[in-house]
Amino acid sequence: NPVVAIVGRPNVGKSTVFNRIAGERISIVEDVPGVTRDRIYAHSEWLGQKFSLIDTGGIDTGEEEFLTQITEQAEIAIDEADVIVFVVSVREGVTDADEKVAKILYRSDKPVVVAVNKVDNPELRSEIFDFYALGFGEPVPISSTHGIGIGDLLDQVCRSFPNTGAEIEDHTTRFSLIGRPNVGKSSLVNAILGENRVIVSSVEGTTRDAIDTPFISANGDEFTVIDTAGIRKKGKVYENTEKYAVLRALRAIDRSDVVLVVLNAEEGIREQDKKVAGYAHEAGRGIIILVNKWDTVKKTNHTMQEFEELIRQEFQYLSYAPIIFVSARTKQRLDQLPQLIKRINENHQRRIPSAVLNDVVMDAIARNPTPTDNGKRLRIYYTTQVAIKPPTFVVFVNDPELMHFSYARFLENQIREAFDFTGTPLHLIERKRK
Positions in the binding site for ligand GDP (CB under 6 A): 179, 181-187, 230-231, 292-293, 295-296, 327-329
15 appears as a binding residue in the annotation: yes
Give the integer Cα–Cα distance in Å for 57 and 61.
10
- Phi-psi sector, 225: left (phi>0), alpha (psi -120 to 50), beta: beta
Query: Least separation, in Å, of the C-beta of 15 and ligand GDP?
Result: 30
Instruction: State which residue, 211 or 394, has the beta carbon closest to ligand GDP.
Output: 211
228 appears as a binding residue in the annotation: yes
Query: Least separation, in Å, of the C-beta of 179 and ligand GDP?
Result: 6
Give the integer Cα–Cα distance in Å for 395 and 405.
14
Query: Least separation, in Å, of the C-beta of 175 and ligand GDP?
Result: 15
Instruction: State which residue, 271 or 401, has the beta carbon closest to ligand GDP.
Output: 271
β-bridge partners, 397? 380, 432
230 appears as a binding residue in the annotation: yes
Q: Which of 347, 343, 325, 342 is nearest to 188 (CA)?
A: 325
Neighbours of 332 (CB within 10 A): 15
Query: Least separation, in Å, of the C-beta of 325 and ligand GDP?
Result: 10
Measured CA distances, 56 to 8, 100, 139, 141, 188 (Å): 9, 16, 20, 21, 30
Instruction: State which residue, 297 or 388, has the beta carbon closest to ligand GDP.
Output: 297
- Phi-psi sector, 211: left (phi>0), alpha (psi -120 to 50), beta: alpha
Q: Hey, what amino acid is at 371?
A: P
375 appears as a binding residue in the annotation: no
Query: Least separation, in Å, of the C-beta of 79 and ligand GDP?
Result: 19
Query: Least separation, in Å, of the C-beta of 200 and ligand GDP?
Result: 23
Q: Is 4 helix (H, G, I), strand (E, B) or coil?
A: strand
Query: Least separation, in Å, of the C-beta of 266 and ligand GDP?
Result: 7
284 appears as a binding residue in the annotation: no
392 appears as a binding residue in the annotation: no
Instruction: State which residue, 177 or 378, has the beta carbon closest to ligand GDP.
Output: 177
- Please give the angle made by the CA atoms of 322, 327 and 328, to the nearest 5 degrees: 115
Task: Give the side-chain half-sphere CA count within 13 A for 385.
Answer: 21
Instruction: State which residue, 181 or 353, has the beta carbon closest to ligand GDP.
Output: 181
Kindly provide the residue ranges of all beta strands, DSSP E only, lying in 129-275, ordered along the sequence: 140-141, 173-178, 197-198, 213-216, 222-226, 258-264
186 appears as a binding residue in the annotation: yes
Instruction: State which residue, 39 or 270, has the beta carbon closest to ligand GDP.
Output: 270
Instruction: State which residue, 105 or 265, has the beta carbon closest to ligand GDP.
Output: 265
Query: Least separation, in Å, of the C-beta of 68 and ligand GDP?
Result: 26
Q: Which of 414, 415, 288 is nearest to 351 (CA)?
A: 415
298 appears as a binding residue in the annotation: no
292 appears as a binding residue in the annotation: yes
Query: Least separation, in Å, of the C-beta of 187 and ligand GDP?
Result: 3
229 appears as a binding residue in the annotation: yes
DSSP structure class, residue 283: T
Give the integer Cα–Cα distance in Å for 335 and 319.
24
268 appears as a binding residue in the annotation: no
Q: Is 137 helix (H, G, I), strand (E, B) or coil?
A: coil
> How many residues in the chain?
434
Give the integer Cα–Cα distance in Å for 269 and 415.
30
Using a 10 angstrom Cβ sphere, with 0-12 exposed, 13-18 middle and 19 or more buried, the burial of residue 16 is middle
Instruction: State which residue, 56 or 264, has the beta carbon closest to ligand GDP.
Output: 264
116 appears as a binding residue in the annotation: no
Instruction: State which residue, 292 or 383, has the beta carbon closest to ligand GDP.
Output: 292
- Nearest position to ligand GDP, beta carbon: 184
Furthest-apart CA atoms within the chain: distance in Å: 77
What is the separation of C-alpha 167 from the centre of its chain, rounded to a whole number of angstroms? Answer: 18
Q: List the binding residues for GTP.
A: 8-15, 55-59, 117-120, 179-186, 227-231, 292-295
Q: List the binding residues.
A: 8-15, 55-59, 117-120, 179-186, 227-231, 292-295
